[in-house]
Structure 1
Amino acid sequence: MITEFLPLFLMVLLALGLALSLLKIAEYFGPHQPSAIKQSPYESGQDPVGSARDRYSVKFYLVAMIFIVFDVELVFLYPWAVSYRTFLEAGGGAALASLGVIGTFIVILVVGLLYDVKKGGLDWD
């Protein structure tokens, strides 16, 4: 049983050995001239302001979660858009039923977004 996986184990060992050896070779032969400027944090060409340990507002996390929820729900529209042509070709009520389902889905999304806007979930104040 283990002999079946021997080539896989050898390949993993070879890959790890190559990766580690290339890292060590680059560390040994590469240029290394540390200075205070090179060791300082870099934030888009500007000096960092404040501590890296500052707490973020809960509002930041709420907006991030709202973005993720709507982004994931928007991903559900792609399979429908791709398969809509097959609904049209099927004829009958398939295309109309498909439009009804996706219309209901979009209405639910819009209602959720309006509720969030009304509650101030997207305000940065």
Structure 2
Amino acid sequence: MGGPGGRWSIARAAVLVTGLTAASTVLGFLRDVVVAAVFGASAELDAWLVAQGVLNVVLGLLAWAMARSVTPVTSRKAARSVRPTLSRASATTSGPGCATAAGMCWRYAETAAIQSSPAPKTTS
């Protein structure tokens, strides 16, 4: 990246990230419009949105924890070698971490769906 073209490649990368972020925002808005048009306001949709919120929180915490644990190891490895490789710490934590997050989200989604569903009607 050094040399005269380095500055332009950073500018291109910044434009690319900005464009992809804008596209993601527009697509997210369109997703919300379609979900609202198809499902309307219902207890099932509320339960699904709560489960998605829990999923986002869990994945955010997992990403933060992995970044905190993997970055120092990878940085040291990159400083020692010319070509950095995937560290053993990231390889051993990513699989179980993702599996745990998926299991927690599945459990919370099931609980939210059960709690938000109406009580069964009984006939007497």
Please classify the TM superposition score into its range, dividing by the shorter chain length: 0.3 to 0.5
Higher helix share: 2
Q: Which has the higher contact order (CA 8 A, sep 6+)?
A: 2
